[in-house]
Amino acid sequence: MQALHFGAGNIGRGFIGKLLSDAGIQVTFADVNQEIIDAIATRHEYPVNVVGEQSTTEIVKNVDGINSTSNEVIDYIASVDLLTTAVGPQILARIAPTIAQGIIARHNRGNSKPLNIIACENMVRGTSQFKQEIFKALPEELQQWTNTHIGFVDSAVDRIVPPATSKTGDILEVTVETFSEWIVDETQFVGIIPTIKGMQPVDNLMAFVERKLFTLNTGHAITAYLGFYNGIGTIRDAILDERIRLIVRGAMEESGLVLIKRYNFDEQKHMAYIEKILSRFENPYLQDDTARVGRQPIRKLGADDRLIKPLLGTFEYQVKNTNLLIGVAAALNYRNNDDEQAVKLEKLITEKGVKQAFCEISGIDVNNSIVMKVEEIYTAMQDHQFV
């Protein structure tokens, strides 16, 4: 079996690419970073440090690399069995025309074997959104053929893969945590679902998507924003601050009440899952910066993302949201001149005021009672009278 994976960064190499290779699949990485691609294409292997209480270094083998802007990519799409991505939500639309060209070539060559596409991104129904972008670049007469022969499989991915500098200077070396979870929607595959250890097919994907989004992503973001606000550089140091930990746990418990009511989760098991997430943030072997985790605050304050989506759920199920509101206010207070969205957010707040800016970004009505609460917490944080 052959797979083409877009994105040869840390997540691509340390998570998805590794699972595919471990399953005996021949993996070709496609990326614009020529130095990384050349190294993969020359060596056909790279080391992954899996860190935790029992740390190991594993060698990922049977891999190759090509530049994602080359015509060679189209040839690969026309022939491979599986296409995955780990490029970041913002990049999917950019690579969609290339995928469309590959699908056209696949059709023109008479390749009717199933191809399954899985976008492994931190977004809700990412592959379905990716499909929409691909279809914009596909001729209308090919869309029915594409729906018949190509599966667009949504997924939920969870593994902390922080930037890590190799002690030996190896540009391909990557460090990951022990925990990983890759959930895929079994109803969206075309043909036989491949057997990949670490990839779990389910028929209720949204429950797992929202469990991860409302817990790991929500908690991670709030830890980052409160940590950065308090001048704390790493996620580990931030979550070890008892004031921050109390708010982060409280926010995850609030979002957890939404999940328990929406999906009938076992409350005891979900609270244990929250504790597991907190312990992952504490991992002493991972050095993850609050600035990195907090980046792109405008996206993270969107209606379908990790802060607002669970907050909206608290309205739906009439559960408390005190700590989630603090997390939202902390995100609005994110001031990082090295982050383009943080700069844009600050400018928007300066020009329109925090209430209008927040409502414009989140889609929440300005007359909603929580808007005033967010403004109050935001103002207190601006005056350094909070957390």
Binding residues are 3-14
Reduced to 3 states (helix: H, G, I; strand: E, B; else coil), residue 128 is: helix
Closest to 13 (Cα-Cα) out of 177, 160, 172, 238: 172
User: How many residues in total does the chain contain?
Assistant: 387
**Token pair of 27, please?**
């993996």
Map tokens 């960064």 to a residue. Answer: 9
Q: Smallest Cα–Cα separation from 172: which of 50, 44, 284?
A: 44
Residue closest to 75 by CA, chosen among 137, 2, 22, 148 = 2
Helix (H/G/I), strand (E/B), else coil: 51: strand
Please give the annotated binding residues for NAD(+), written as ranges.
3-14
Rounded CA separation 19/11 (Å): 11
Q: Are 85 and 92 in contact (CB under 8 A)?
A: yes
* CB 161, CB 13: distance < 8 Å: no
Q: 165: which 2 tokens?
A: 């500098």
Amino acid identity at 103: I
HSE (side-chain half, CA atoms, 13 Å) at 202: 16
